[in-house]
Structure 1
Amino acid sequence: MIGRVTHQTVQRSSLANLQVNLGRMAELQAKLSSGKNVQKPSDDPAATSDILLLDRQAARVAQYERNAQDATTWLNVADTTLQTSVKSLTAARTLLVQAGNGGYGQAEREAIALELEGIRDDLLRQANTSVNGRTVFAGTSDAGEGWTLGTDGSGARTYTHTASVAGATTPVLRRVGDAVTVRVDADGAAAYGDGATSVFAVLDAAATALRTGGANGPDVTPLLQGVDGRLEALKAANAAVGSRQNLVQNAQSDLASASLTVKDQRARVQDIDLAAVTIDLQAQEIVYKSALAATAKTLQPSLLDFLR
């Protein structure tokens, strides 16, 4: 049975079709204004899943990049400090060689002893260098300094390396990749020594020997051996820091590439094809205008026109 087509039926059908066309235009305009294909999960569940996955990857890469930047700061400070310490101790060695000259009197040796003590104090300050309130050469210790200065029973100065765990220093680590973790501090006890073997105690011993060495001065050979041992330790620590700097630089390069890759993949899933959407919107506007024109002719504006 064929139903009767009334003016009201035509009107409802026409308005419904106009709303569909208008909705398609609105959807295309929303894509064009936002630049995004997916406005809400229901637009494309599969694409939404991919976008969420890529967002997690981007967040992980961004965190690794922040870790690498922090690692670079720590390692740069450690590297600069160790280089300065090597220069300071080299200067102390030069002074000791001069002090071994038999032509030096007690006044000259006293002056050199004072210079050695000044270098010792500089080295102690360098060894207590910190980054954002954290000591570079004391691991995860929160003591605020790398070495604790004290005195023994005879009144002589003592230098105790700060350790976060008794007998060992816990290193400061930064993860700069899914499987890449790098140490960003330096082993202070290995570089500067601890207790009687520390570079500070070695220079104290050298200054004391210069003051009590008699008219001809002390034998500087064992003193130079002590200084040379600490020089080698500082250079070895500096080399280790340099190798970790290279590791972090390589990680940063890889992370920059990974970040660009993730952004490109996300853009392919989420971003619109501007040219295609613009053409689709223009075509939809033509369809909508045509529908309006056809509807205007179909829906008569008055009862007289309807009866006609």
Structure 2
Amino acid sequence: MRVTQSMVAANSLRNINKSYGSMAQYLEQLSTGKKITKASDDPVIAQKGMYYRTSLNEVEQYKRNLSELYLWMDNSEASMDQGNKSFQRIRELMIQAKNDTNETTDREAIAKEIAQLKEDLVSVANTQVAGRYIFNGTSVNTAPVTSDANGVVVNSENDPYLVEVSRGIQLKANADPSQLFSQELFNTIGEIERELSEDDMDLDSLLQKFDGLVTTFSAERSDLGARYNRLELLESRIDNQEVLAKKVLSENEDVDMEKVYTDFITQESVHRAALQMGASIIQPSLVDFLR
């Protein structure tokens, strides 16, 4: 086959253009840090990237759900602690009221303090986080306890407020209000107030009943603590999943900067050599030889 000057020039230019393309690709990878910038660059990497990114987004959503759970549980624990302090004070006052040396005015003062503690328990039961009641099940927009001149009324819902923390796994965020701030609890505290106005008090049975309600309260608080421990374990697992998801996504899409830079320098050297060789072959013409 006869090789002409035009064939040599065309092949040389085609290879130089390919070299430019390779250099441009390396430059783009160095600039973006990514192996591809559009799906057509490598459909396999693009498809895997969509799957890995979906998995990462899912894990990040679960982390946001965990934050919501922490918010609910931390506030629930703080409220329960405040409620427990009120219970302890009520019990102390009941023991104090049983002393025969108390005058009528002393018992009235104790009754007034217990009334104030009852109102404090109402406010604890109506604790809100971000405008939502945390002790009313799924009815987060309705106060579970109301108080007026006629007394305290409990209208709490027991449906659990569930939050998804992993695929197919839900964790209850709220404590059971029926075990914490029941109608029986407020009725018992009301009976204690009325009993203190009697000359012949009998607080023993009420104290026993009150202690039973406090025990129920403490059991629900322990249940919240157990769920909090599980939440911390779930957080650790999801953190590991996030690290792995980011690692897989990075391995699929991110370039090895050192390798790409080395390849770019090598390609640049090859390109310069091709330009020099092409110039030495293409430039001479018949006129050059006739001089």
Instruction: State the TM-score, normalized to the length of structure 1.
Output: 0.89
Q: 2:125 aligns with which of 124, 127, 136?
A: 127
Number of residue pairs matched? Answer: 291
CA positional deviation for 1:88: 0.7
Q: Deviations over 1:50-89 (max 9, x none)?
A: 2211111101110110001110110010111111111111
Deviates more, 1:59-68 or 1:263-272: 263-272
2:106 to 91, 105, 108: 108
Look up the match of 1:166. Answer: none
Measure, in 2, the Cα distance between the counterparts of 1:174 and 1:254.
Answer: 16
How many Å apart are 1:275 and its aligned residue? 2.2
- Map Cα deviations across residues 123-169 of structure 1 (whole Å, 9 max, x no partner): 00001001111111101114431113356xxxx41412233xxxxx2
**1:194-217 deviations in Å (ceiling 9; x for gaps):** 2xx1x2222111111101x11xx4
Residue 37 (structure 1) shift? 1.6
Match of 1:252 in 2: 235
| Matched residue, 2:4 | 5
2:165 paired with 1:176: yes
Asked whether the 8 Å contact 2:23–2:267 carries over to 1, the reply is: yes
| More divergent stretch after superposition (97-106 vs 275-284) | 275-284
Q: Where does 1:1-308 land on structure 2 (aligned, <5 Å)?
A: 2-3=1-2, 5-6=4-5, 8-149=6-147, 156-163=150-157, 169-194=158-183, 197=184, 199-211=185-197, 213-214=198-199, 217-300=200-283, 304-305=287-288, 307=290
Q: Which runs of 5+ in 1 are unaligned?
A: 164-168
- Cα deviation digits, residues 274-300 of structure 1 (max 9, x gap): 222122111100110011111211222
Alpha-carbon offset, residue 94 of structure 1: 0.7
The 1-side partners of 2:64 and 2:240 are apart by 15
CA contact (8 A) 1:90 1:231 kept: no
Q: Is the 8 A contact 1:192 1:233 kept in 2?
A: no
Q: CA deviation at 1:11?
A: 2.8
The CA deviation at 1:306 is: 6.4
Alpha-carbon distance in 2 for matches of 1:300, 1:230: 102
**2:66–2:235 CA contact under 8 A, matched in 1:** yes
Q: Following TM superposition, by how much is the alpha carbon of 1:240 offset from its aligned partner in structure 2, in angstroms?
A: 1.1
SS at match of 2:196: helix
Q: 1:257 Cα deviation (Å)?
A: 0.6
The one-letter amino acid paired with 2:28 is A
1:159 maps to amino acid? V
Query: Quick one: distance in 1 between partners of 2:247 and 2:168?
Result: 23
Which residue type is aligned with residue 45 of structure 2?
A: A
Shift of 1:223: 1.6
Decide which moves more: 270-279 or 128-137: 270-279
Provide, for residues 22-57 of structure 1, a one-character-per-residue CA deviation record: whole Å limited to 9, x for no partner: 101111111122111222223322222222111111
- Judging changes above 3 Å, is the alpha-carbon distance between structure 1 residues 98 and 4 closer, same or farther for their aligned structure 2 residues? closer
Q: Distance in 1 between matches of 2:123 and 2:230?
A: 28
Larger mean CA deviation between 257-266 and 293-302 belongs to 293-302
Unaligned segments of structure 2, at least 5 residues: none
Q: Displacement, 1:301?
A: 7.1
Secondary structure in 2 matching 1:103:
coil
